[in-house]
Structure 1
Amino acid sequence: MSGSTTNKGVIVITGAGQRVGLHCALALQQQGYQLVVSYRTATPGIAALQQADVHCVRADFNQLTDIATFIEAMAAYPAIRAIIHNASSWQPDIPLPQQNEHSVLTQLQQDAAVFDHMHQIHAKVPYLLNRALLPKLLAAEDTADIIHLTDFVASVGSSKHQAYAASKAALENLTLSLARQLAPKVKVNAIAPALVMFNENDDEAYRIKALAKSLMAVEPGPDEVLQTVLYLLNSNYITGRSLPLDGGRHLKLP
């Protein structure tokens, strides 16, 4: 087994096959936590996690049966130190049709599919997992944590990703409700990033435009999220908050 042999408790991370989730899972494993992660598609990142003795559970969170399978995989763990809800899908709204391009029903079906998918992944799944795994959080030796990964747009909206932004806002509201319900045994917080890391296929023009949106004008990388996760795990007092990771972007809005 690679990494530290100290067992600081079990941390569950959803959507850990790549990017931020993968970085956090590997780092937390190295720091002595026991990691259980979900993934939908096998990736080189999942292979790396398995090599590091991380418990990886395949689950398509669009399916209740897969959600149940993921929850049942927790049976081996009597207590959970933290759940980090990182699973996400970034789907734009469908462009509005030209006059008479689609029937009213077709347009409604297309818009409903986007809205339902965004809220399924970003709001319903965290709601279901938190409720199902609450006894294991309450069984933690010390204070446990729920951490929701939301988004900068949850507080400002988005013209082209309205369903996405609304689903992340719903998750931030769940943060408030759970914090009120579960204190002082479980701290519940959100982390709301703007740009954290580019995709490989992002062109130079897009990168320049994206960097210019924040005061700091940098691509901070996934470690910025990890350090915020560690800050929340180590805190004895913060709950019911959404911590922005936006490089001052809120001050550069038009």
Structure 2
Amino acid sequence: MNKVALITGAGRRFGYELAESLLNEGYTVFAHYNSSKQGVEKLEKSGAIGLQADFSDNQQIDQMVDAVLAQANHLDLLVNNASCFFNNDTVDQNDNALNAVYQVHAVAPYKLITGLSSLLAKANDGLVINITDIYSDRPSTDYIAYCGAKAALANMTQAFAKSLAPEVRVNAIQPGPILFLPEHDSAHKQQILEQTPLTVEGGLQPMIDTVRFLRDNTFLTGESIKVDGGRALKI
């Protein structure tokens, strides 16, 4: 039976690299994007099925669920990776930003897991991986809404692990300084790496390796793995 995966936020960074890796392994990949169309167009050339949805709109989430239900008879892997990152000032001044933080990190994963649980149960060892954050345990005071939304996703990871067992496993990955953003200057990078025991930017491969570990170890559910070079020890 052909393996099928759905990756949200697949148009860039980790989502893109994971989608490409799974395509190379022979998966059928549903690649969700909101605005990063160029990356998904590249994935489509390799056989991915692109799905556009703005997760701030529940109707679009439901339509995406319906699209997957119509095109797949099982789902081996759901990776809730889509993200948005706003500081306190942004969400305090813009209700749309505040709404997006919780929609993208909590509401959308909830609706995707519940809406696709029947397909996950039809797979041989269906698996959900939620990408949370090391800040879901140790919140930053500069990104309170973001940390709260990621904490909600972390809590849902454990709740769904209990409710969907034994047919479906649900785990989480908590990334740290994996890949700096273009807007991060050298001073910011140095500060973060000084707070990271392994003192290096992790890159995307450790994240992909952790997805494979969670996939291949079929006796893990309800777990959360930090991929952060030890940074959570210092924040």
Quickly name the TM-score band, shorter chain normalised. Answer: over 0.9
Answer yes or no: is 1:116 the counterpart of 2:116.
Answer: no
From the superposition, tell whether residues 113 and 63 of structure 1 become closer, same or farther in structure 2 (CA, over 3 Å): closer
1:79 match: 74
- 2 CA distance for matches of 1:48 and 1:37? 11
Greater than 3 Å deviation, 4+ residue runs: 110-115
Answer yes or no: is 1:180 the counterpart of 2:175.
Answer: no
- 1 CA distance for matches of 2:157 and 2:35? 28
Q: Superposition RMSD on alpha carbons, in Å?
A: 1.6
Conserved 8 A contact 1:93-1:114: no
Conserved 8 A contact 1:93-1:111: no
Q: Percent identity?
A: 32
1:1-254 equivalences under 5 Å are 8-74=2-68, 75-94=70-89, 110=93, 113-140=96-123, 142-253=124-235
Conserved 8 A contact 1:91-1:114: yes
Which is greater in Rg? 1
Q: CA deviation at 1:72?
A: 1.6
Structure 1 unaligned segments of length 5 or more: list them.
Answer: 1-6, 97-106
Q: CA deviation at 1:35?
A: 0.3
- 2 CA distance for matches of 1:95 and 1:139? 42
* Larger helix fraction of residues: 2
TM-score of the aligned structures, taking structure 1 as reference length: 0.88
From the superposition, tell whether residues 95 and 16 of structure 1 become closer, same or farther in structure 2 (CA, over 3 Å): closer
Q: CA deviation at 1:115?
A: 3.5
Aligned length: 234
Structure 2 unaligned segments of length 5 or more: list them.
Answer: none
1:6-34 deviations in Å (ceiling 9; x for gaps): x6411000010000000000001101111
1:190-212 deviations in Å (ceiling 9; x for gaps): 00011110122322111111111
1:217-254 deviations in Å (ceiling 9; x for gaps): 1111111111000000111101101101121112223x
1:120-150 deviations in Å (ceiling 9; x for gaps): 110010001111111111111x111010000
